[in-house]
Structure 1
Amino acid sequence: MSKGSESTKDSSYQTPRERPRPSLTNYRNFAYNILKYLEDDIVGDKEIPQNQLLCVKCLEEITVDFPKDTVFCHVNTPCIMIALPILIKELSSETSQDSEVMEKGTGDFFDLYNSIINMEGQEEIAKRDVIKSYFNFGKALDDCFNYYKKDNPKRTAQALVNKKVWEQLPNVSDDALRKKKERALKIFELFNEIGEDKIQKIKSFSASSISKLD
């Protein structure tokens, strides 16, 4: 079956706001709690009940203040319970110097996808550059979906996005493209909530580890 005929059935692309993931509310609360600890103006006086912020793997409450007898989750690595205080510490640090990748927020899917591949293949490239490449790809997917959604039902809009991506990346396997899209949308989802500029504060987190914080 050709990619074109599969596109009408493929639901792997869905926007951050509309993907039917049960952990979506938890993911947004995670983002808001990061902003709250950073005293970001975006949050203001918004209250996020702590009992709404649970690790989706171990179902334990996520908090930045751990008691001495805390037993960390062994179900998933990295568990949000372990990662949250580390991530907040990094996001509270000084912003690193902008890279060329940070300036490239536009481009077609071919360029955006290959930017990810190129960055992942160079160990000397900072992790935040890979994260930014994923963010750019996720933003392009989201923008494209919103464009098509203006005149089409959601399912049709998703199929049109898939078709456009496949046309520009005909030599990429469906599985590889699906994984890249899922990771890109998760990273876009998080940093679109807490601020794209926060990417430049990342030091130890990889794109893979951040995409698992859901």
Structure 2
Amino acid sequence: MKEKHILSAVTEISANQVRPNSLAEKNEERAVHPDIISLYETACGAEKKAIEANREETLRWCFYAREFKRMYKDFMVSNKVGEKKAKGQVYDFIIKQLPDTKRKTLCRQTQKALRIDDLFEKIGMDKLQYIKTYSADTISKFTDPQIQIIIDHFTEKLASKGINCTSVNE
């Protein structure tokens, strides 16, 4: 009889036992090792912010490149000059507004922006959402064969879905 009572108590305890992965146990473990948990969560949050920052920077360089192209084309028409001279006039205009900016730095960053924008004009701005680890700097340093691989990848994907792919040529 006594065995039945003990067996019944064990069964009752077993039935009420909390699962190992329960919220209570996780909270208890967090209380024991709060630093590692918060450090991990902070790192994950920082990673997410870095991804968004990379996308934002890339987008901003594309906007800058498009405005740069628009301006130098306008200068070509209004000032009746060639492309090289018009680009120089745009650089002069920018440096006049931002006197602390060195021309060499401006030219280098503009080339970076143009390269990034050329890629996204070909594959579509909507592909910006797929950037997770590449900064604008890294993208601008892709070689022509690497860029072609990216273009081919996205045009093949779209073609396989029956979407007509056309690249923007200027």
Higher helix share: 2
Task: Compute the TM-score of the two structures, normalised by the length of structure 2.
Answer: 0.49
The higher-RCO structure (CA 8 Å, 6+ apart) is: 1
